[in-house]
Amino acid sequence: MDKTDTAKPDFFHKVVDCQWACPAHTDVPEYIRLIAQGRFADAYMVNRESNVFPAILGRVCDRPCEPACRRGRVEDKPVAICRLKRVAADLKGDIDDRLPAIPKAKNGKRVALVGAGCASLTVANDLMPLGYDITIFEALGVPGGLMRSNIPAFRLPEAVLSEEIGRIIDMGVDLRLGARVNSMKELLGQGFDAVFVGSGAPKGKELNLPGRHESDQIFIGIDWLESVAFEHTDSIGENVVIIGAGNTAMDCCRSALRLGGKNVTVAARKPRHLFKASDWELEDAEEEKVNILVNHAPEEFVIENGKLTGVKFAIVEWSEDETGRLTSKALDHVVVPADSVILAVGQENAFPWVERDIGLEFNKWEEPVVDPITFESTRKGVFFGGDAAFGPKNIIWAVAHGHQAAISLHKYCQDQPLTTRLPDTLNLGSRKMGLHEWSYANDYNPAQRLKMNHVDLTNRFKEMNIEVELGFSPEQAAEEVARCLNCDIQTVFTDDLCIECDACLDICPTDCLTITRNSDEEDLRTRLRVPAENLTQPLFVSGPLKQTARVMVKDEDMCVHCGLCAERCPTAAWDMQKSCIKIPYAVDEETAWQKRQKKSA
Amino acid sequence: MSFMTKPKVAHPRLRRNNLGLTRRDYEGTMSTLCAGCGHDSITAALIEACFELSLPPHRIAKMSGIGCSSKTPAYFVGAAHGFNSVHGRMPSIATGANAANRDLYYIGISGDGDSLSIGMGQFSHVIRRNLHMLYVIENNGVYGLTKGQFSASADVGSKAKKGEVNLQSPIDPVLTALALGCTFVARSFSGDKEQLVPLIKAAMKHRGFALLDILSPCVTFNDHEDSTKSYAYTRQFYHPAIHTDFVEPTQNIAATYKQGEAFPVTLHDGSNILLRKVAKDYDPTDRRLAFDFVEENLKSGEYLTGLLYIDESKPDFHDMAQTDHRPLNEIPYAELNPGADAMKKILARYR
């Protein structure tokens, strides 16, 4: 293998599994360390820079970071990253004086944002400090988008939502509530310099089976959740069947329990391991005694005397054909009694309000054609982000889109090319403080993942808005943070200092180091002290070592960043260095541009 | 040394041996030797060998004298027996222990000072006794624990860290052992585990005294440019004369090599050592040839390594003493202690 080029920021970035997996690349190890030091406001601000809504995301994020967490490979459970984020938010105190100043004098550019969801709010958050005049058009009477209308209050309290959204609106955004945009053409005629569409994926999918339209007790999941959120719906039948097994289904079944549902069943066509719902959301639903049926394919809504009485399901068996496609075979049929049915079989974005003759192209699925880097549509000056751009994902993706779209909007308004963007950069700094002293907590703490405490089952159903999760106390948080492996404290190797004494190999607790002769990757992976079978994790390969021309190979998979290799190295060929990944935002583009102007002047 | 203890966490896919143990289960306490010390690599090789042989930790007895080397037994197989004895006197203790319990695996760890200076007499006689044990000399050419004076194995012309040149000729443990009739003589290098681990395994299974002289650079006092026992010098001038593979009794030895490329030596427990010659005309069963060859190489400043001499035919200590085949702790008390009457009879013989 060629010598690993660690100068490319991606190599060390990938080692920080959580940060790499996060669409917004939140600096997780850094904020966990700040929490460990009791610096909750600092931890909150590290979060806010990348993910904008730490208190919201600390409760309802889809947390791609946790399945990626190294701790989950070394042991079985990852660090409770998401809930630690909530700790930072819960205990931060007042942070308003740390927010960027909003210039009094505007820069003369007006940007319209469609929808007041997380994507648009991120754009506003990034552009307001640069002096833009931002107008948000929101169809509903409150801002927040799906975060407000689709996530039940027992998971995400209203106050939390309002605080973080308010912080952005209070930057001076012109928020127009109850102002549904009915025509893109008309919006484009209002003289905005650029338009961003962050209107989400607000259309729930239908399930047109016999009987679908013969009852008023069959609801579309996201519409029903919205009507619950705005208190238009306050009851449901005793027997409730939810069709679908995604996270919307989980929110629906748990909401149904709080509105009078007694026997609540979630019915899925697929076996459990293929559910779209996150494991933890399934666990929470099961804790509340929701009945979960697998391999149940709905066939008919049973209507007796004009009244919905049940859902007829085929019980199916799945088999995989040669191409890997799953096909089902009906084995039996069953009728599950139901007074109400909620359909949670997916959602999609819909743009009936965007005219098709304005140079804005749609693909065959009626989705807008959007550039994945600039988020620009085929019409100059119109950008898309969040679920509106590439279909339903989740909040953290929408935030990531918002940051990138904000860069594009800024560049577009300033007549700069959209595609010349600042690259990600990475800084390294040694953590060596002196003899046997490292400026990070490198003791491996064998503690198990803390279980989140919940409001007990007898009390939680009394009101819709009793938050089920209690959050970690500072003492609990102090235990959980110690489980973080500090993956951003990188093992940095200098080839020509190595005397091949093997000290690092011998002391490494997880056997991730090997000195061996070089060869191709496939072969090398089999010849390590523990074969490197996890192909998603890269190998680090040094240049030829001085004495034998062999190479130092490190399998990044299981490194616990304890620093013993550096501690044991007699020549400091290994060093522990903190990596800091800088993802540029709109403000960085602006600063860099001004610097360039100064230079050329 | 490091002050950080190696955490208990291990790679989840770490290999397990026949006893269901991982390599980590054969570790000892945290090493207090200098970071980069060759001795720590030898410790790791011992751990690897014990793991691969699936030795039950409680069947191992670790013996040592005094010196950096003699701290080593604390750092491997924490669950084994151990005895840290007087300077240079480890062979006596090992002999006593072995006399009482012949069934344990004895690993003696010594250094060039412990064996070739203060313990030279003991060293010679334990070879004569052909005591069944692995005797490791962690050889670095200096007295590390007393700040780097030349030891008896320092080469002529080698410079100390402060610049003095050694003029006295060295005692070479390999030549000494060959001269004394040692039945298993090998030399290796702490920085070459591919050679070292099979040698340790073979030595543990050899019935009789197995000497393993391991060049083990002292990273603090003897790793400078004019040293002849530095990492760089040793790497440049050590030559494997013969490559040794250890083959378990359960493995099919014929399948592991082609005829002509290697020859096997069968050990007493049915395991085999496969020897692959690197140097032409080398025969590790010919003692005279071995002696000449090693000496020739030493003269030209080269360290010949590998299994240099083996003789499985010689009787060991227990054969010669005609002792019971059982360890003392397995002999019933009545049999072990013949009683007062028998004692009287014995004493009567001397009246």
Is residue A151 in a domain?
yes
pLDDT for A306-319, tens place per residue?
Answer: 899 999 999 999 98
CB contact under 8 A, B13 and A74: no
Report if residue B341 sits inside a domain. Answer: no
Q: Is the pLDDT of residue B183 over 80?
A: yes
Q: Where are the alpha helices (DSSP H) in A230-316?
A: 247-258, 279-287
- Does B225 reach chain A within 8 Å, measured CB to CB? no
**Taking the CB of residue A350, how many other CB atoms lie within 10 A of it?**
15
Mutate to test the interface with B, among A75, A435, A507 (most CBs of B within 10 A): A507
Would A233 be classed as within a structural domain?
Answer: yes
Residue A23: what pLDDT? Answer: 96
Residues A197 and A332 in one domain: no
Q: What's the pLDDT at B296? A: 87
Same domain, A334 and A212: yes
Which residue carries 């799953």 as its tokens?
A326
Radius of gyration of chain B (CA): 21
What percentage of chain A carries pLDDT values higher than 90? 89
Find, among B311, B326, B319, the residue nearest to B129 by Cα.
B319
Q: Does A443 touch chain B (CB under 8 A)?
A: yes
Q: pLDDT for B22-71, tens place per residue?
A: 999 999 999 999 999 999 999 999 999 999 999 999 999 999 999 999 99
- CA of B138 vs chain A CAs: smallest distance (Å): 14
Do residue B11 and residue A507 have CB atoms under 8 angstroms apart? no
Average pLDDT over every residue of B302-325: 92
Q: Which of A218-222, A333-337, B336-340 has the lowest mean pLDDT?
A: B336-340
Interface contact flag, A558 B12, Cβ < 8 Å: yes
Whether A421 is in a domain gets the answer no
Whole-structure pTM value: 0.89
- What integer pLDDT is reported at residue B260 of this predicted model? 59
* Chain A contact set for B232 (CB, 8 A): 499, 546-547
Among partner residues A444, A501, A510, which is closest to B38 by beta-carbon distance? A501
Contact A533 B37 (CB under 8 A): no
The verdict on B42 touching A (C-beta cutoff 8 Å) is no
Pairing verdict, β A437-438 and A432-434: antiparallel
Q: Do A571 and B12 touch (CB under 8 A)?
A: no
Tell me if B10 and A567 make a contact (CB, 8 A cut-off): no
Q: Does B16 touch chain A (CB under 8 A)?
A: no
**pLDDT over 70, % of chain B:** 94
Nearest CA in chain B to A445: B7
pLDDT band at A44 (very low <50, low <70, confident <90, very high): very high
Chain A residues lying within 8 Å of B236, measured CB to CB:
547
Query: How long is chain B?
Result: 351
Residues A500, A376, single domain; the answer is no
Residues A12, A540: contact at Cβ < 8 Å? no
Give A20 to chain B, closest Cα distance, Å.
Answer: 22
- Which residues in chain B touch residue A567, judged by CB atoms under 8 angstroms apart? 2, 4, 35
Q: What pLDDT shows up at residue A451?
A: 92
d(CA A116, CA A119): 8
Instruction: Give tens-digit pLDDT for B231-288.
Output: 998 888 888 877 788 777 767 666 556 655 667 778 777 777 777 777 767 788 899 9
Instruction: Write down the pLDDT at residue A584.
Output: 96
From the list B23, B41, B232, the residue facing A502 with the nearest CB is B41
B240 touches A: beta carbon within 8 Å: no
How confident is residue A590, by pLDDT bands cut at 50, 70 and 90? very high
Q: Do A530 and B15 touch (CB under 8 A)?
A: yes
Report if residue B170 sits inside a domain: yes
Residue B11 lies in a domain: no
In this structure, what CATH number is given to the domain that contains residue A501? 3.30.70
Mean pLDDT for A367-372 is 94
pLDDT band at A243 (very low <50, low <70, confident <90, very high): very high
**Which of A347, A380, A398 is the C-terminal boundary of a domain?**
A347
How far is the CA of A137 from the CAs of A129, A196, A412, B51, in angstroms? 20, 10, 21, 69
Q: Would B337 be classed as within a structural domain? A: no
Range of the domain at A462: 9-97+439-481
In a domain, A3, yes or no: no
Q: What is Dmax (Cα atoms) for chain B? A: 70
The last residue of one of the domains, among A347, A366, A381, is: A347
Interface with chain A: mutation pick from B4, B140, B188, B218, highest number of A CBs within 10 Å: B4
**A446 and B9 in contact by Cβ < 8 A?**
yes
Compute the average pLDDT of residues B220-231.
91
CB under 8 Å to A535, separation ≥6 — which residues?
A525
Looking at the structure, do residues A198 and A210 belong to the same domain, yes or no?
no
Dihedral of alpha carbons A181, A232, A155, A263, sign: negative
pLDDT tens, position by position, A53-98: 999 999 999 999 999 999 999 998 999 999 999 999 999 999 999 9
B18 in a structural domain: no
Total structural domains within chain B: 1
The closest CB to that of A442, out of B4, B8, B223, belongs to B4
Question: Token pair of B64, please?
Answer: 């040592």
Q: Which of A312, A347, A382 is the last residue of a domain?
A: A347
Q: Residue A266: what pLDDT?
A: 95
Tell me, yes or no, whether A407 lies in a domain: yes
CB distance from B144 to chain A under 8 Å? no
- B220 Cβ contact list (under 8 Å, min separation 6): B34, B37, B144, B148
Structure ipTM: 0.87
- Asked if residue B13 is part of any domain, the answer here is no
CATH code of residue B159: 3.40.50.970
To which residue do tokens 């290799």 refer? A565
Q: Cα–Cα distance between A521 and A360 in angstroms, integer?
A: 46
| Domains in chain A, number | 4
The pLDDT tens digits of the residues spanning B146-178 come to: 999 999 999 999 999 888 999 999 999 999 999
Q: Provide the shortest C-alpha distance from residue B143 to chain A (in Å).
A: 19
Indicate whether A336 belongs to any domain: yes
Whether residue A2 lies inside any domain: the answer is: no
Would you say residue A198 lies in a domain? Answer: yes
Assign B311 a pLDDT band (cuts: 50, 70, 90): very high
Measured distance CA(B234)–CA(B231) in Å, rounded = 5
Q: Determine whether the interchain pair A503/B193 forms a contact, defined as Cβ–Cβ distance below 8 Å.
A: no
* B344 part of contact set with chain A, CB < 8 Å: no
Tell me how close the Cα of B217 comes to any Cα of chain A, in angstroms. 9
Tell me, yes or no, whether A239 and A152 share the same domain. Answer: no
Residues of B within 8 A of A436 (CB-CB) are 2-4
Domain harbouring A276, CATH code = 3.50.50.60
Output the pLDDT for position B304: 86
Q: In what order do the strands lie in the sheet with A133-137?
A: A174-176, A133-137, A110-114, A194-197, A382-384
Do residues A133 and A241 share a domain? no
B208 and A CB contact within 8 Å: no
Please list every residue in chain A whose beta carbon sits closer than 8 Å to the beta carbon of residue B44: 502, 505-506
Q: How far away is chain A from the Cα of B215, in angstroms, using its nearest Cα?
A: 12
Q: Is residue B285 part of a domain?
A: yes
The CA–CA distances, whole Å, from B218 to B147, B149, B189, B277, B328 equal: 11, 12, 12, 30, 40
Q: Taking all residues of chain A, what is their mean pLDDT, rounded to a whole number?
A: 94
Same domain, A339 and A221: yes
Give the rounded distance of the alpha carbon of A429 from its chain centre.
28
Report if residue B3 sits inside a domain.
no
Its domain, for residue B176, covers 23-328
